[in-house]
Structure 1
Amino acid sequence: MKVVEDKRRKKRPIGDFPWFLPDLIAMSKRAKEAMEDLLAPHGEFLLVECDFGEYYLYNAFAVLDALDDEKTIGD
């Protein structure tokens, strides 16, 4: 994993949840440790090799499509 820096922004630390993908959540070691008891029975944590810290991807075993399109308001 590589961090892409925006030269126009001030240098900030990378957060506990640096990005979300439709099927995966990336999280820091600190976030993993805080949420492990809740999430571990429902998925797996995959260690990501990176130069800026210990980060994990969480891969859920099952995903529920819970959005009710007929009752959703908005564009």
Structure 2
Amino acid sequence: MVNKELLIKEIESLPSELLTEAFDFIRFIKVSHAKRQLKDDTSSNLNTQQQIEKNLYPLHNTQPYNYDNPTEPVALEDWEFLQ
């Protein structure tokens, strides 16, 4: 837990222009780790690339929401959170 707290402190102290680079680096580490795990896992039915994509992009090939008239006004009774 100490490592996580140190990492959070470092991220909080970064200038905003470096946050994107830090995020990209963290994603790179996760992808590298996923690749190593999949190489070791021989029981997987999917090939390595498919498994990596499935883990990294869980919403891929899912149905998106469809908004027919997104700029049309909404009546107060249609707002679920107000009820």
TM (normalized to structure 2)?
0.22
Could you say which structure has the higher helix fraction?
Answer: 2
Higher relative contact order (CA 8 A, sep 6+): 1
Could you say which structure has the higher strand fraction?
Answer: 1
TM (normalized to structure 1)?
0.23
* Bigger Rg over Cα: 2
